[in-house]
């Protein structure tokens, strides 16, 4: 469990850095291969249904992350009894912000996937980097993307702490 949490920390720290680089305009998009994969599935018999179901699952995982962050139910997974009250509160905030940001990002990815499937628009079939580009294109997009990036960094930091203090 601790190794898994440590790996999550590295992944989400990398996602945070990636989101920040997109927000700053230096990130590159790898959505081409994701568009090709989704386009290929869409051409299968029942491919549209497969992509929509996948998108709904991704949205569901995103909603679950937001709920977990809002309710702070992640606190059951980490033993903060040896921490000071200030550190305990900091860990709770990192988890809360991180789970909510992760949930929002997954919701955007699922939304883009479902839109691509329902309209059969291969250009809209994007992964996380495409979702980040979509956020960036919105009014206040740089602010929103920076918030998502900071959320990913917060989740990465929380996952590092979780790997150390995980309840066994």
Query: What mean pLDDT comes out for the span 34-42?
Result: 61
pLDDT at residue 5, as a whole number: 65
Q: Is the pLDDT of residue 112 over 70?
A: yes
**Average pLDDT value for the chain:** 76
Structurally, the chain folds into a number of domains equal to 1
Cα(125)–Cα(31) distance, integer angstroms: 8
Query: In which domain, by residue range, is 59 found?
Result: 2-165
Three-state SS string across 2-47, please? HHHHHHHHHHHHHHHHHHHHHHCCCCCCCHHHHHHHHHHHHCCCCH
pLDDT tens digits for 142-166? 887 787 778 878 888 888 888 778 7
| Residue 157: Cβ-neighbour burial (10 angstroms; 0-12, 13-18, 19+) | buried
Binning pLDDT at 50, 70 and 90, where does residue 76 land?
confident
pLDDT at residue 66, as a whole number: 95
Query: What mean pLDDT comes out for the span 17-29?
Result: 57
138: left (phi over 0), alpha (psi -120 to 50) or beta: beta
pLDDT at residue 71, as a whole number: 95
Q: Which residue reads 């959505």 in tokens? A: 31
pLDDT at residue 138, as a whole number: 79
Q: What are phi and psi of 62, to 5 degrees?
A: -65, -45
How many CA within 13 A on the CB side of residue 83? 16
**pTM of the predicted model, to two decimals?**
0.68
Q: Which residue reads 């081409």 in tokens? A: 32
């Amino acid at each position: 469990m601790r190794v898994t949490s440590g790996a999550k920390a590295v992944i989400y720290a990398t996602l945070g850095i990636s989101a920040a680089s997109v927000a700053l305009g230096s990130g590159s998009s790898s959505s081409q291969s994701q568009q090709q994969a989704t386009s290929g599935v869409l051409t299968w018999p029942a491919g549209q249904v497969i992509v929509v179901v996948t998108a709904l699952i991704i949205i569901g995982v995103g909603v679950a992350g937001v709920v977990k962050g809002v309710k702070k139910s992640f606190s059951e997974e980490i033993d903060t009894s040896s921490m000071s009250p200030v550190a305990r509160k900091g860990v709770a905030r990192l988890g809360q912000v991180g789970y909510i940001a992760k949930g929002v990002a997954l919701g955007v990815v699922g939304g883009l996937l479902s839109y691509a499937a329902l309209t059969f628009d291969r250009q809209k079939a994007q992964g996380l980097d495409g979702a980040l580009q979509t956020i960036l294109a919105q009014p206040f997009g740089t602010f929103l993307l920076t918030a998502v990036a900071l959320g990913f960094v917060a989740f990465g930091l929380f996952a590092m702490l979780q790997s150390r203090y995980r309840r066994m």
